[in-house]
Structure 1
Amino acid sequence: MTKKLTSIILLFLFINHFAIAQDKVITGHITDNTGKPVNGATVIAQPSGRGTASTADGSFRLSAANTDKAIKVTLVGYEAYIQPITGLHKFDIALQPSSGNVLNEVVLVGTRSAGRTRLNTTAPVDVFDIGKLQQQTPQNDLNQLLQYASPSFNSNRQSSSDGTEHIDPASIRGLGPDQLLVLINGKRRHTTSLVNNQGTIGNGSVGTDLNAIPASAIERIEVLRDGASAQYGSDAIAGVVDIVLKKNTGDLFASATGGVSSKGDGGLGQLNLNYGTALGKNGGYINITGEGYIRDRTTRAQNNNLIIFDQSALNNYFAYDFTDDPAASRKYDDDMLKQKGLSRDKFNFQIGDAKIKNIASFFNLSLPFSDGKGEFYAFGGYSYRQGEGYGFRRLPSDYTVNVYSIFPDGYQPNTTSHISDRSIAFGFKHTLGSWKADLSNTLGDNRFDYFVNNTVNASLEDKSPTSFKAGGHEFLQNTTNFDISRKFDVLQGLNLAFGAEFRVDKYQIRAGEEASWKNYALVTAPDGTVSNPSGLAGGSQSFPGFSPQNAVDKSRNNTGVYADAELDVTSKWLISGATRFEHYSDFGSALSGKFATRYKIASGFNLRGAISNGFRAPSLQQQYFSYVSTDILPDNTLGASGFFTNNSAVAKALGIPKLKQEKSVNYSFGFTAQPLKDLNISADGYLINIKDRIVLTGSFGFDPDGNPVPAIQDIINPLGASSARFFSNAVDTRTKGIDVVADYTIRSGNNRFNASLGFNINTNKITGIHVPAQLKGQERIFFSPNDSTLIVKGTPHTKTNLSLTYSYKKFSMLLRNVYFGAVNRNDFPFGEEQQFKGKIVTDISFSYTVNPLTLTIGANNLFNIYPDKQIYDNSYFGVFKYAPVQMGTLGSFFFGRLTLNIPSGK
């Protein structure tokens, strides 16, 4: 590590020594059209690409190359301004408000050439002004803000899904959460420690917790909808989300939001604060954000058909459907309910959104050097979340999971999460002659602890506690980057960039307290045979703790180098290319590349396209996660379902191969157009082939009809499980679709109207299944129909976002319709595939400003739209009324928001 750092420092000195370009100092003052100083505007010298930002008083100082001919000034919400450099080196610049040409916004992601706009990039990039979304829209966390703003983005709150209830999975183009790379200020963001494993979207994947980042800390979000492994490394198969933090100073922003659903639950209270202050005399700043919110649970349950009291039924914990005499069994329960003075409602499961408490803080800091050639920067934050989700209710009919002296009528267990998310990044940027260099280090950590309450370990009987510490998991990532780039006067401009990255990943699973995982009813015979004569279940019911057998502490490192080039061959034709080599200490090396081009056919009309190959290394979580939990087994009973690593004895016995990297090839082709000054259109088609995609297998131990398979049970029963699942490079997939984005703005006096349309049509297909020879005949277990349906039809085939905004002086309003296309769920083997029809969700809000306060009221899902109700066969005998698909199960949500915004100088 020391040798690598020494080499990087020597490279810095080498470049600096041989830099030959001479410098000239450009200074100036930037204001808006009212004369107010503009803070945080980006100033870029052209063609060298050297840049700086304006300070709180609007001033800037830039060391430009002697060959630079102009400076370009950009800021979100304002038109780009280009000032030729003549004999003068000091300028007064007045920016004009943007007329709505969002395709002309300067972007950072997907290019290492300064000053590229969305109109002239080689791949599609969406830019979202989070400040506007946060003030106008009903959504309150980052996942939901993007869910309703971006047609290719998908995120749903889940229910009864263990940890996934507390960290929402998110994806683009229907691919996995772990195939989407998240950056903050261009630096890699760590993933969570959570493996989604309860049959949700992204089943078997590990994503990034976007909701750990307070929205008030963000200036904008750029979404690159194209494969970018060659540019940014593993995880960027589907695309890249780059979160750009605020850098403004002197502006005080505060926001208080309250809301509730139409059913009176899901109450929300949220407070956001943001403030920045200037540091030093060279344009430094620190911007600080704090956020806190409480979101109450929702209940979307109904009466079910499960047996409540009747222990004489044929199979305990089954529905009446399976008893010898359903009518008699139901009458027995009805009589018991009457005797106890209870109703069936008491025995409904808690189904709905989890209760969440979250506090978060973030900062963004810059300290430019006095010579104007560089800066020290740092950013990072801390998030602490407590979630309360719910497992399967334990009904009194099943003696194996009950302690009647504690819970005579059964109980509704809950799982409480304590999630800590920490990150810190720091680095140095410096202009070395005509080169721009950046040396940085980013450290991130996600820790997840489980606590199970209102439950028992039945095998302890009367001695059982009702709360358990169930252990947890943690993921830490440290990334060191060195990047250099330079603009050359070749043809119409050549930008070269090179870089290196060294990354260390560390993953841990911590065992819970003994009572959370142990079965004290097990009896060992003299011959070593283990039995459970009482039949009592062990571990904390609904979520058994991690056992010492599950505990793990593993790490790996990754070294990568890349080269990137962009050449403006002519004023109309741009070509770009990138290549990247990465070596992982645990599984080997990978080489990826990308070629892209853009050609201006006519003024305001560009064609663009790209081809790239990529890869995704299996995460440490996928390699080393193991756990035995309570689940619905294929024979319709609750039992122990085990997740085992690919290097375990069970995996070897069943012929499960070791994990290897996913490989992809991405194609895209599209156009951007401005047929009118204020009308912008982009359309891009894409094709993504992924080979050896990592998924979770089905539950080995049962056949497709739910009957035990003795040969497999003999292997896994001694390990305390009735079924076994694994990660495997099981399938090849093909994703294809079209993204269309259009934006139109009309201005007339104090009236401003904007219409924004986003459209995505997306199709996923399984093109191959890789079944090991030992498991021929077990294809539907190796890759089950329900997992296949999640990949192929689990996200909307079509999604459309139409947003209309109107403002007049102090008044503004938003009307937005989002169409969530049809999705399918398959509850194989004890249900069937069901299609949930497409639905339109309407959002509306009204805002009125009396400076510095803005009051906003409105609604999400104004007309109380829900997904189709689940058919009986898929509802677990009526327990689950709705599936958490499309818009989710919240229904109408009404909110009020008071925003305080005091600009600098006021």
Structure 2
Amino acid sequence: MTLTVRASLLASLSLFSFASAAAAQDVPPAQDATASTQAQDERPAGDQTIIVTGTRSSNRTVADSPVPVDVIGSDAIVHTGQTETNRILNQLVPSFNFPQPSIADGSDTLRPATLRGLSPDQTLVLVNGKRRHVASLLNINGTIGRGSSAVDLNLIPGIAISRVEVLRDGAAAQYGSDAIAGVINIQLKNSAHSGRASLTYGEYHTTLSDVAAVTGLQLGPDGQPVLGTVPTNDPRYLLANTDGERKANDGTQVTAAANLGLPLGDRGFVNVSAEYRSRDRTNRAGYDLRPNFNRPTAAFDPREVNFNRLQFRFGDPDSKDYTVFVNAGYDITPDWELYSFGSYGHRDATSAANWRQQAAAANRNYAVLAPNQAPNTANFVPLTDIGFLPLIGTDLDDYSAFVGTRGAVAGWKADFSVGRGYNSFDYQVSDTLNTSYGTASPTDFDAGGLRYAQWVANADFSNEYNIGAAKPLTVAVGFEHRRERFKIRPGQVESYAAGPLAIAPITTTAANCITTLSGRFDPATGICSFPGRAAPAGAQGFPGIPASAQTNQARHSWAAYAELDTDPVANVTTTLAGRIERYSDFGTTVNGKFAARWEFLPGYAVRGAISNGFRAPSLQQQYFTTFSTNFIGGVPVDIATLSVTAPAAVALGAKPLKPEKSVNVSLGATANPLRGLTLTADLYNIKIKDRIVLTETLGTGGTGNIATVQAQVTSLLLAAGFPQVSAARFFVNGVDTTTRGIDLVAAYNLRTGSLGKWTLTAAYNRNKTKIDKRLAAPGALAQIPNIVLFGRVEGIRFTDGQPRDKIVLSADGDFGQIGFTARTTRYGKVVSPGSEPPLAPNQTSLTAYGPDDIFLGRKWISDAELRWKPGGGTEFALGANNVFDVYPDRSPFGLRPGSTTAANSFPANQEYIPYSIFSPFGFNGRFVYARASVDF
């Protein structure tokens, strides 16, 4: 489709589209616990929907809220065509970002999402108003959300959701830790007399943008493959014949879901939702044209000609999920209700690590070498015939259960509840080996696992008093007790240990080294080394969690809050909240919030809020520990991710983590110039002090590109008595940041008679984060000149790694038996930082761009769905996400522009890993689906 035609279609849609889909949904009040779904005409207008997030008043609506709250109804969730909640919110909420990384270990399976460009763990998630537990996984790879543990929203199936309320404002004073960016409150379905069943089938039909379809290698007159030559080609790759762009039909996804509401006599209800989702993997890798086989002579291995060069896997993993949610309530007396809700979810997924070439050190049999024999191409003996692709299997189990009762105590509304959440994440690595064990290595490994549990108990009270104000004063007070526990389970020994083919250098005598140990002796240093025993240790692809990392840590906290909510005079709404919370590990924090709205003319209002907030350091950030052994320059280096209390980390200057502290200020305006039309604008400024980040890996030369750093860090560790740790990283309160942005939202509920009923929506978010201050190196690290704890790459991930802005335009309508949804989303610019430092004279700059940084341009992603309702509650739908098959900008590869030497080249992997994992809409291409459903 031409750009002109595409632009015309998007422009036509834009004429009918103003506002976030979130702001325009018609949903029944949350208090209606037993009524079946109302007819569309009986639902309140979107801006008159009663909200339960951001206020404890019982009659606050979207229209008179002093802070912005988006409400996403169940219809909007269904009409996206997606069945993962994170992908649904990414389509509907402009300030929500959900990149979909690949080759990122556990983050392939449990992908983090963000709100307002902040960290995934700075958004609080509630279910039915109760705190949802976070995942046990800590994201420590180079993805958005590095160093965070977040709630896995994809464990909450869309069919269980009545609506989602997204509070876009700081709310720690009302809800406690994590609510810096905002709050996502998921309300479960509560009908007692209705149900729904659906079956969705879809798959990707796509053409990879700027990725060549290789038909074979170019061969010379002698029948041998041909390497590229400078300056025409990159000499790292074999020349190939191509035919257009690579096509893919994969990622088949089947989702079966059902929801059923049943009465419990005439006094209660139980609502059950279940979903099963099976998703085949996608692969958006390009062809790997590097020579794969060992080359001891000038001639290539003859297998190069017919070798399958799509060995890499780059995309969504194979995944099977099943989840069950139950929501129930029962009136035990006229004044008291017993309620309960809970869930169980399970996910099996298999993702891939990087392909290990046949000629790689990871595939070498070191047993054929003498300890003093240097490895080279002539003495290479492979462990596998063609190389191998390590597969990382993850087994996730998750459950939660809440039980409570609400009623009246001495004239006060009261709500007592207790709940538990639990998440486990286990690793199984297969089709791989621990090279240091040689031919004795297993090929499948139990690589260990993580556990997180949370207990939370709440007591909430509220009452209304007539004090002569325009509306009664709502007084709410409450108490919360929370207990958390984090565990690390080690893997089997072979998954992490250094086997007999990995021997570290030692200091000894020449005679002992040469005669007894068969090593190489350096008389200048007295060091005996073993080049023939330099096999990489640990399971390739994902080294297991070692026994030394075993962890079992807990903490608890107590909190009390108070909130006042009233209209002191006509058309003026105010909310005042305060909270004090004490944690067993870092002490007490006090937070407050004031919000107000003034409707100065009928339908026109201004609003604003100011608050301070906090986020407690997670147990994962405080206690996560693991070790991996890498060979750097042929020498085994143990790299440790250390807890802040580990003696080696303390020796380097690590200190107990403090909570992150924020100050949120927002100012906005709302207008209803026409019946059914709502316009809102909100500016926000979020300053966060002591943000918790993971340091650079200290001791590998990766800190400010200073050559002496590695030796000096290693010396510090050695002097402190930790010779087994040559490089380390740990969490610190490392940076202060400021995030500024604006949300513009409009919604128009249009009733056109013969043309049916339409909801036209549009929204815009612009967001920018700036680093105000970086932590100076603490303790012993301060002795090292120019050392950087939080470097350029991580800094750019903070400031430029998420879209600068985002636009969502949509039109959703029904006319007779036909329904139609069209949506287009524009994702703004993103920078994906590379490891190469900036060019002179900015080599040490922490903000300048480097030659390998990738700049992802703005992209429009359009979705469409057509529905037919023949009657009897049945519905059939056909649709496509990313209709125009748009991809992020292709990563550059080969020689850099103007290069005349092979050394001046882009990273080699960008030839076969064509897209950045920072893409805010992923990189899978067009998804086509069909759905059949029945309401009863």
Query: Do Structure 1 and Structure 2 share a fold, with TM-score over 0.5?
Result: yes
**Matched residue, 1:411:** 388
- Please, which of 405, 408, 417 is the counterpart of residue 428 of structure 1? 405
Contact 1:716 1:724 in 2 (8 A): no
Contact 1:650 1:715 in 2 (8 A): no
**Higher relative contact order at CA 8 Å, sep ≥6: structure 1 or structure 2?**
2
TM-superposed deviation, 1:630: 7.1
Partner SS state of residue 713, structure 1? helix
**Matched residue, 1:299:** 283
Distance verdict in 2 for CA 1:400–1:494, change over 3 Å: same
Contact 2:681 2:742 in 1 (8 A): yes
TM-superposed deviation, 1:642: 2.6
CA distance in 1, matches of 2:111, 2:432: 25
Contact 1:401 1:541 in 2 (8 A): no
CA distance in 1, matches of 2:737, 2:156: 32
CA distance in 2, matches of 1:792, 1:652: 29
TM-superposed deviation, 1:779: 5.8
TM-superposed deviation, 1:525: 8.8
Gaps of 5+ in 1: 1-39, 44-51, 59-74, 79-94, 313-328
**Matched residue, 2:804:** 797
**Matched residue, 2:522:** none
TM-superposed deviation, 1:298: 1.0
Partner SS state of residue 621, structure 1? helix
**Matched residue, 2:518:** none
**Matched residue, 1:859:** 880
- Please, which of 674, 679, 682 is the counterpart of residue 681 of structure 1? 679
In structure 2, give the amino acid aligned to 1:763.
Answer: K
CA distance in 2, matches of 1:175, 1:792: 10
Q: Are 1:361 and 2:324 counterparts?
A: yes
**Residues 387-439 of structure 1: CA distance to partner in whole angstroms, max 9, x if unpaired?**
11111111122234445665221100010000001100000101224310011
Contact 1:582 1:589 in 2 (8 A): yes
**Matched residue, 1:269:** 254
CA distance in 2, matches of 1:251, 1:728: 51
Distance verdict in 2 for CA 1:565–1:224, change over 3 Å: same
CA distance in 2, matches of 1:855, 1:582: 51
CA distance in 2, matches of 1:868, 1:525: 46
- Please, which of 429, 450, 458 is the counterpart of residue 452 of structure 1? 429
Contact 1:739 1:758 in 2 (8 A): yes
CA distance in 2, matches of 1:132, 1:311: 60
In structure 1, give the amino acid aligned to 2:885.
Answer: N
In structure 2, give the amino acid aligned to 1:843.
Answer: D
Q: Are 1:612 and 2:611 counterparts?
A: yes
Q: Are 1:746 and 2:730 counterparts?
A: no
Contact 1:401 1:537 in 2 (8 A): no
CA distance in 2, matches of 1:115, 1:530: 77
- Aligned pairs (5 A) from 1:557-636: 557-629=556-628
- Aligned pairs (5 A) from 1:107-122: 107-122=51-66
**Matched residue, 2:13:** none
- Please, which of 847, 862, 866 is the counterpart of residue 846 of structure 1? 866
Contact 2:537 2:630 in 1 (8 A): no
**Residues 428-459 of structure 1: CA distance to partner in whole angstroms, max 9, x if unpaired?**
10122431001100100000000000000111
In structure 2, give the amino acid aligned to 1:153.
Answer: F
**Matched residue, 1:665:** 663
Partner SS state of residue 251, structure 2? coil
- Aligned pairs (5 A) from 1:319-334: 332=299
Relative to the length of structure 1, the TM-score reads 0.84
Contact 2:358 2:385 in 1 (8 A): yes
TM-superposed deviation, 1:800: 0.5
- Aligned pairs (5 A) from 1:447-846: 447-490=424-467, 491=469, 492-521=471-500, 522-523=502-503, 533=531, 534-629=533-628, 641-701=639-699, 702=701, 703-705=703-705, 707=707, 709-714=710-715, 723-750=727-754, 751-773=756-778, 774-776=780-782, 781-829=788-836, 832-846=852-866
Contact 2:100 2:921 in 1 (8 A): no
TM-superposed deviation, 1:168: 1.4
Contact 1:305 1:877 in 2 (8 A): no
Gaps of 5+ in 2: 1-26, 206-247, 366-380, 509-526, 838-850, 894-905
Contact 1:248 1:287 in 2 (8 A): yes
In structure 1, give the amino acid aligned to 2:759.
Answer: N
- Aligned pairs (5 A) from 1:16-415: 42=29, 53=32, 55-56=34-35, 96-98=42-44, 101-129=45-73, 131-262=74-205, 263-282=248-267, 284-304=268-288, 306-310=290-294, 332=299, 335-336=300-301, 338-339=302-303, 342-343=306-307, 345-346=309-310, 348-371=311-334, 373-402=335-364, 407-415=384-392
Contact 1:523 1:530 in 2 (8 A): no
CA distance in 1, matches of 2:32, 2:474: 21
In structure 1, give the amino acid aligned to 2:109.
Answer: H
TM-superposed deviation, 1:576: 1.2
**Residues 222-256 of structure 1: CA distance to partner in whole angstroms, max 9, x if unpaired?**
00000001000011111100000000122120110
**Residues 152-191 of structure 1: CA distance to partner in whole angstroms, max 9, x if unpaired?**
1111211011111011101100000110000000000000
**Residues 28-78 of structure 1: CA distance to partner in whole angstroms, max 9, x if unpaired?**
xxxxxxxxxxxx9659xxxxxxxx63645x8xxxxxxxxxxxxxxxx8876
CA distance in 2, matches of 1:618, 1:652: 18
CA distance in 1, matches of 2:140, 2:547: 20
Partner SS state of residue 549, structure 1? helix
In structure 2, give the amino acid aligned to 1:871.
Answer: P
Partner SS state of residue 870, structure 1? coil
Contact 2:775 2:789 in 1 (8 A): no
**Matched residue, 1:24:** none
In structure 2, give the amino acid aligned to 1:246.
Answer: K
Partner SS state of residue 309, structure 2? helix
In structure 2, give the amino acid aligned to 1:345.
Answer: R
CA distance in 2, matches of 1:389, 1:290: 25
Which shows bigger deviation, 515-524 or 688-697? 515-524
Contact 1:615 1:661 in 2 (8 A): yes
Distance verdict in 2 for CA 1:245–1:227, change over 3 Å: same
Distance verdict in 2 for CA 1:898–1:362, change over 3 Å: same
Distance verdict in 2 for CA 1:843–1:802, change over 3 Å: same
Contact 2:80 2:91 in 1 (8 A): no
TM-superposed deviation, 1:545: 0.7
In structure 1, give the amino acid aligned to 2:664.
Answer: N
Partner SS state of residue 713, structure 2? helix
Give the alignment's Cα RMSD to 1 decimal: 2.4
CA distance in 1, matches of 2:171, 2:303: 65
CA distance in 1, matches of 2:758, 2:29: 27
**Matched residue, 2:844:** none
CA distance in 2, matches of 1:569, 1:177: 37
**Residues 849-891 of structure 1: CA distance to partner in whole angstroms, max 9, x if unpaired?**
1122111111100111111111233563524210121211111
In structure 1, give the amino acid aligned to 2:169.
Answer: D
TM-superposed deviation, 1:464: 1.2
- Aligned pairs (5 A) from 1:863-874: 863-872=884-893, 873=906
- Please, which of 889, 897, 902 is the counterpart of residue 931 of structure 2? 897
Partner SS state of residue 266, structure 1? strand
Question: Identity of counterpart residues, as a percentage?
Answer: 34
Relative to the length of structure 2, the TM-score reads 0.82
Distance verdict in 2 for CA 1:531–1:569, change over 3 Å: farther
**Residues 680-729 of structure 1: CA distance to partner in whole angstroms, max 9, x if unpaired?**
11111000000010011111111433847212234568665553211111
Distance verdict in 2 for CA 1:832–1:472, change over 3 Å: same
Partner SS state of residue 382, structure 1? strand
